[in-house]
Amino acid sequence: MKTKISGVELRRIAMPLVAPFRTSFGVETSRDVLLVRVVTADHEGWAECGAMSEPRYSSEYVACAQHVLRKFLIPALPKDGLDVHAVGRVLQPFTGHRMAKSALETAVLDAQLRSADESFGSYLGAARDRVPCGVSVGIMDSVPELLDAVERYIAEGYVRIKLKIEPGWDFGPVRAVRERFGDDLLLQVDANAAYTLSDARHLAGLDDFGLQLIEQPLANDDMVQHAELAKLLRTPICLDESIKSAADAAAAISLGACSVINIKPGRVGGYLEARRIHDLARAHGVPVWCGGMLETGIGRAANVALAALPGFTLPGDTSGSGRYFATDITEPFVLSDGHLEVPTGPGLGIEPLPDVLNEVTTSSEWVAM
């Protein structure tokens, strides 16, 4: 099926977070989000770029993503239209910039699915109509403050807690959460690459806390070091930043660098590549779960659909809209019994609310085809 695009809108919005979100690499207080809207003769397709305002999580950042889309990626799309499967191929000569590529491919996919009257979930192969939700809890100033936050999230129904850790904020918080909420709580940690292999013995101390996994303990490029670390820990290693493609996932699995994978479609260049990683991991018996980049409802809708695939056997960072924003740009995603429902309407099954969108827009540009 060919989708003929007349142009693409690149819209930036400012979304203040309900609370600062601190990780080992920085603090987010407001999301500067790039939205991509692909316009065809009879439909439009929406997507959200996962890039943050600064190149800390990865080398991409939002102004850079907008630039590469305007200057290279959008102009590379064929003028006479294309099928979503061709997007990755056409963009392949450009190195990196996976979050930018993902946003463009996802917007094309949304337009294509809306015109085919099919939902993301159905297209991707969703195996269930709702997904269990975890929540990622940032680094805080004190342990009591952290315990209060975790208590609130558990009361809201979150079925799994992920604690952000860094040197100096690891054992104390993990022990305190375990002691307070008990051994049955599904608990995991995410270091965002804050340690080195020489911290192996220190990290092995976390083995006593029955964690589901430790996410990205070492640097993004440290695939071999993660394999070494895995031999020294009982806690399963999950990779996030290190996995940028299905090829990376294959390498990580065969090296023994991880036994769980966090899949973020933006990080890997789109939902089609995300599904390839899911399929590969599933064939190897490696569980996967859906990560998050503090998305608005636009990015969340597609992530929730992806998280409904059968290999997503662990709860994801797919939290409700209220965990991030006082007002989302779409109808909010609201937890029910610890789950979010997979949208069933055509495409993403959700649109920005025009009034809210206009209120939060900081700039908009039109790139004609």
Interface residues with ligand SMG (CB under 6 A)? 21, 23, 28, 52, 57, 136, 190, 192, 240, 291-294, 317, 319
Rg (CA), the chain: 20
**CA 263/CA 273 separation, integer angstroms:** 10
**CA 69/CA 103 separation, integer angstroms:** 9
CB of 135 vs ligand SMG, minimal distance in Å: 7
Q: Which is nearer to ligand SMG, 294 or 342 (CB)?
A: 294
Cβ–Cβ under 8 Å, residues 86 and 108: no
- Enter the DSSP assignment of 347: B
Q: Which two tokens stand for residue 368?
A: 């004609």
CB of 134 vs ligand SMG, minimal distance in Å: 9
The item of Mg ion, ligand SMG, none sharing an interface with residue 317, based on CB under 5 to 8 Å by kind, is ligand SMG
Cβ–Cβ under 8 Å, residues 213 and 236: yes
**CA 188/CA 174 separation, integer angstroms:** 9
Q: Which is nearer to Mg ion, 222 or 240 (CB)?
A: 240
Q: Which two tokens stand for residue 21?
A: 């979100």
Q: Which is nearer to ligand SMG, 269 or 292 (CB)?
A: 292
CB of 276 vs ligand SMG, minimal distance in Å: 20
Q: Which is nearer to Mg ion, 124 or 260 (CB)?
A: 260
In sequence order, which residues have a C-beta less than 8 Å from that of residue 302 and are 6 or more positions away? 47, 106, 110, 120, 265, 271, 348
The item of ligand SMG, Mg ion, none sharing an interface with residue 44, based on CB under 5 to 8 Å by kind, is none
Identify whether 231 is a catalytic site residue: no
Residue number, nearest CB to ligand SMG: 292
Identify whether 264 is a catalytic site residue: yes
Beta bridge partners of 366: 9
Q: Which two tokens stand for residue 131?
A: 């997904």
The item of Mg ion, ligand SMG, none sharing an interface with residue 292, based on CB under 5 to 8 Å by kind, is ligand SMG
CB of 90 vs ligand SMG, minimal distance in Å: 28
The item of ligand SMG, Mg ion, none sharing an interface with residue 293, based on CB under 5 to 8 Å by kind, is ligand SMG
Q: DSSP letters of 125-144?
A: T---SEEEBEEEE---S-HH
Question: Contact residues for Mg ion (CB under 5 A)?
Answer: 190, 215, 240
Q: Which is nearer to ligand SMG, 114 or 134 (CB)?
A: 134
Instruction: State the catalytic residue, choosing from 4, 101, 244, 264.
Output: 264
Instruction: State the catalytic residue, choosing from 2, 164, 231, 244.
Output: 164
Residue number, nearest CB to Mg ion: 240
Q: Which is nearer to ligand SMG, 136 or 212 (CB)?
A: 136
Cβ–Cβ under 8 Å, residues 49 and 103: yes
Per DSSP bridges, beta strands 339-341 and 160-164 are: unpaired
Q: Residues for the chain: how many in total?
A: 369
The item of ligand SMG, Mg ion, none sharing an interface with residue 136, based on CB under 5 to 8 Å by kind, is ligand SMG
CB of 323 vs ligand SMG, minimal distance in Å: 7
CA–chain centroid gap for 63, Å, is: 19
Provide the annotated active-site residues.
164, 264
